[in-house]
Amino acid sequence: MLRRILQNTVVFVYLTVTAAAMVYTMSRISLLPRLMIRWSYGMMAPYQGDTAWNGDFLYEGQLPDGTWERIDIDAYMPFGFGERNARKFLRVYDDETRRTKYPQFASLLLERERAKGRDYQAVRVYFDMWDRSPAGFEFLHTPLFTKRKLLTEVQ
């Protein structure tokens, strides 16, 4: 009997803390002290930055003849999707610092690509944004549906 009460208490506390973390994530209303919900709040990560659109960064290298070709940066970011996304979006920096980091990253990318033997004259970085689709993340990532913004170009 005591064992069952203890088990139910543990489950009840876990569900209460998790529910309080979800309420805090969605409304910023703290039902429990933040120290108590800290771990559960981390589990709410998928709900913390949800948007109604999809977005990704596009890197291009300029060849000596002036044409541009896409550079796949996934080789430089061998992480899972969530961490790769956080790193691409530079989520650890504030907006002002982030603006200086994209040119720095593009310069490093140009340097690394040249070391691999690719004769790029410049690298430019775009941010693409398009609507979500039930057909998948990339489905509407086409010129017709994509808004493109040039973030930086380095030589």
Per-residue model confidence (pLDDT) at position 43: 78
The per-residue pLDDT for range 1-44, each reduced to its tens digit, is 899 999 999 999 999 999 998 888 888 888 999 888 888 887 77
Strands (E), the chain: 53-62, 68-71, 122-131, 147-154
% of the chain residues with pLDDT over 70: 97
Cβ–Cβ under 8 Å, residues 123 and 153: yes
pTM, full prediction: 0.68
For Cα atoms 89, 91, 93, give the angle at the middle one, nearest 5 degrees. Answer: 115
